[in-house]
């Protein structure tokens, strides 16, 4: 027997005296460390997932931001990834581009700039990432493809990074290729070249925000491509990676993950993957889609955020379990810390990771999430067993002399339905360099030398309430803080505040659909543009709006009620749509696509004139007025029974809206 083996034998023997029913796990840095930790983050966008957040009144908006970003308070995120708005539908809405047209540049659209600044205000060290989902039409020169003119696409993306610095003093540290779509090696190399040429050598490239392959193999075969790419980002990897990815020696990230309803099972999913993405897949960053569920809940993937803030009209928000699960890691580590090599699975199920700052600090995160209480939306989760267990941890190397560890615990308590999250327990005194934990199922523990953790709190926000039944917006905002009007959620096209200084009448300040061309899409945008607003449960209501068409030939605009779909399903939205056209006609249709006509006739409407439209829907009947006079009545509407109100245009054309109002029953 060699002496090393006998030491192991002796140690095991001693422990078995000390602790009859437990396994021992060694936390040791003497044989070197594991990979460098890059952080845990949230993703705003992909798409429009923070849409309603900006419309919260203070102090609630700041409170929500504190729960997300403030160090030692809540999720204390290390990374904020945002969508580089591309004017197209990207899951829950569209986000505006900084270049709607080829000769257009505007770095004040949307809310992602604001969000990045708010995050940085709270945590100056936060890592910022940008990724396009879609591109304005001109980037594709009429084709639904961004790589035919790779130099145009590269400078379009680099402009966004330069604009972030120039107008907002934001340093974007990482940029991606094209979310969950094909990459093009030539484009990636050109993007690298364009970044370098623009003085952005420090900006690193993530590829390809899709699967591990084929990018991993491409990097192994193409050394120039490998020099251009710093990080392999995979989506929903199910905690595992592939050999080729490991072989590249690149940083491996789960650059989009989670996407699970944020109840306790969602929290359990997040706890399991935050640990196991490293344990099983050597991933050193995990980013949640999405950051905060701030979109109408009936849109796709409702409440799939770290917390919920979907009621700016009431001020109500919910700090859901994923916030506190995040805190278990983020409050006690920093990007740049290093994982120990001694991380892994627990004998009776669950996992543990340990990280150090290399100067003696140690943070251990343990999770014992059971299968059924930690299922994520995707990929399918193979069965595994977790049972309660005693686990002994032995501290070795730099950690042998640690005398005390702070202890933070979350217990999901699925049986009693009385979970407790991120609770500070009595510190653990370490005797003889080891400690034993009695672990139950569905728990998360942090044991750490870091003393700065804290569970932040604010007084309860106002109670939840439905969208107001009487709602008006005249868009008369002189210096709007955002380009979009509150609560309007664009589903195809981009609706933004517009000022016409030559107008001497009542329509100086309006809302305008700004796109004149179909974008290079990511989802199936409609052929019409549409922005929805209000309460999805609305049935009987009157929608009123002034409209102005700007396309002489074939203009058309609509107001609508009971719109039943948004997001990626927007093409098949049904509802009651009241259209007027510049050729002097009107139509009432049961769908956005205009296939099912309920009524039609002459309206006398033309481009470059303002008209007042009014749509009333009650029970099975709808009626419409033009400039206060009945135009059509008793159109029969059997379905849908309820849905949002909306405004929009017949095609990608300029049109304006003013004095929008809803009165719902």
Ligand X SMILES: *[C@@H]1O[C@H](CO)[C@@H](O)[C@H](O)[C@H]1NC(C)=O
- Catalytic amino acids? 180, 256
**Distance from CA of residue 471 to its chain's centroid?**
28
CA distance 181 to 494: 23
Q: Which residue is nearest to ligand X (CB)?
A: 21
Using the 8-state DSSP alphabet, how is residue 536 labeled? T
Query: Within 13 Å of residue 607, how many CA atoms lie on the same side as its CB?
Result: 12
Shortest Cβ distance from residue 110 to ligand X (Å)?
22
- The SS3 of residue 244 is helix
What distance in Å separates the CA atoms of residue 152 and residue 154, rounded to the nearest whole number? 5
Q: Are 611 and 546 in contact (CB under 8 A)?
A: yes
Q: Which residues contact 564 (CB under 8 A, 6 or more apart)?
A: 573, 574, 575, 640, 642, 643
Name the site residues for ligand X (rule: CB under 6 A).
21, 71, 123, 125, 383-385, 388-390, 438, 500, 502-503, 505, 544, 546, 550, 608, 612, 614, 625, 628, 656, 659
CB of 613 to ligand X, least distance (A): 8
Dihedral, 317, 323, 324, 327 alpha carbons, nearest 10: -140
Q: Supply the minimum distance, in Å, between the C-beta of residue 553 and ligand X.
A: 16
Three-state SS string over 25-79 comes to EEECCCCCEEEECCEEEEEECCCCCCCCHHHCCCCHHHHHHHHHHCCCCCCCCCE
Q: Which helix (H) or strand (E) holds 221?
A: helix 215-221
Dist CA 288 CA 292 (whole Å): 9
Give the residue from 586, 566, 562 showing the smallest Cα distance to 576: 562
Distances (CA, A) of 470 to 238, 297, 543: 46, 20, 10
Pairing of strands 610-618, 529-533: unpaired
């Amino acid at each position: 027997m060699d002496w090393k083996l006998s030491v192991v034998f002796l140690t095991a023997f001693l422990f078995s005296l000390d602790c009859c029913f437990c396994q021992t796990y060694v936390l040791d840095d003497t044989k070197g460390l594991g990979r460098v930790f890059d952080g845990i983050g949230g993703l705003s966008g992909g798409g429009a997932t923070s849409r309603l957040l900006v419309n919260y009144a203070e102090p609630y908006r700041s409170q929500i931001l504190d729960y997300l970003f403030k160090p030692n308070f809540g999720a204390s995120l290390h990374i904020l990834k945002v969508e580089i708005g591309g004017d197209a539908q990207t899951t829950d809405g569209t986000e505006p581009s900084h270049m709607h047209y080829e000769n257009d540049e505007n770095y004040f659209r949307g809310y992602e700039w604001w969000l990045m600044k708010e995050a940085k205000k709270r945590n100056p060290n936060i890592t910022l990432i940008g990724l396009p989902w879609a591109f304005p039409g001109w980037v594709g020169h009429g084709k639904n493809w961004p790589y035919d003119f790779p130099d145009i696409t590269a400078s379009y993306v680099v402009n966004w990074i330069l604009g972030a610095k120039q107008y907002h003093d934001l340093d974007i540290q990482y940029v991606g290729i094209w979310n969950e779509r094909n990459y093009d090696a030539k484009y990636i190399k050109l993007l690298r070249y364009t970044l370098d040429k623009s003085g952005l050598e420090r900006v690193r490239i993530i590829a390809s925000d899709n699967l591990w392959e084929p990018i991993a193999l491409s990097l192994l075969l193409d050394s120039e491509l490998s020099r251009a790419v710093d990080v392999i980002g995979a989506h929903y990897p199910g905690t595992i990676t592939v050999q080729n990815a490991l072989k590249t020696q690149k940083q491996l990230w789960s650059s989009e993950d989670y996407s699970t309803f944020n109840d306790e099972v969602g929290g359990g999913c997040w706890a399991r993957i935050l640990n196991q993405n490293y344990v099983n897949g050597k991933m050193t960053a995990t980013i949640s889609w999405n950051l905060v569920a701030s979109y109408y809940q009936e849109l796709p993937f409702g409440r799939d955020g770290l917390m919920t803030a979907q009621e700016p009209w009431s001020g109500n928000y919910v700090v859901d379990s994923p916030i506190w699960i995040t805190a278990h890691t983020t409050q006690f580590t920093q990007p740049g810390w290093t994982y120990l090599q001694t991380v892994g699975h627990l004998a009776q199920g669950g996992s543990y990771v340990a990280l150090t700052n290399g100067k003696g600090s140690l943070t251990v995160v343990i999770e014992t999430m059971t299968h059924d209480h930690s299922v994520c939306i995707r990929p399918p989760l193979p069965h595994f067993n977790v049972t309660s267990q005693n686990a002994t941890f032995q501290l070795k190397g730099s950690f042998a002399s640690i005398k005390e560890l702070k202890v933070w615990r979350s217990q999901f308590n699925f049986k009693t339905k009385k979970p407790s999250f991120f609770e500070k327990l009595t510190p653990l005194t370490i005797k003889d360099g080891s400690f034993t934990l009695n672990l139950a199922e569905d728990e998360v523990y942090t044991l750490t030398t870091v003393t700065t953790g804290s569970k932040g709190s604010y007084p309860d926000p106002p109670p939840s309430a439905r969208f107001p039944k009487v709602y008006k917006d005249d868009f008369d905002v002189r210096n709007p803080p955002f380009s979009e009007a509150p609560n309007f959620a664009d589903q195809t096209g981009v609706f933004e505040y517009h000022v016409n200084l030559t107008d001497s009448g009542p329509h100086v300040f309006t809302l305008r659909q700004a796109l004149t061309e179909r974008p290079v899409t990511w989802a199936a945008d409609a052929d019409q543009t549409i922005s929805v607003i209000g309460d999805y449960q609305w049935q009987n209501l009157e929608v009123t709006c002034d409209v102005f068409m700007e396309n002489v030939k074939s203009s058309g605009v609509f107001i609508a009620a009971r719109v039943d779909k948004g997001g990626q399903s927007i093409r098949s939205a049904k509802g009651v749509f009241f259209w007027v056209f510049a050729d002097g006609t009107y139509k009432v249709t049961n769908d956005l696509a205009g296939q099912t006509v309920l009524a039609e006739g002459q309206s006398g409407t033309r481009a470059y004139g303002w008209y007042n439209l009014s749509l009333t829907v009650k029970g099975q009947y709808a009626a419409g007025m033009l400039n206060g006079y009945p135009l059509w009545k008793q159109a029969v509407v059997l379905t849908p029974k309820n849905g949002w109100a909306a405004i929009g245009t017949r095609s990608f054309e300029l049109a304006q809206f003013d004095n929008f109002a809803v009165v719902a029953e």
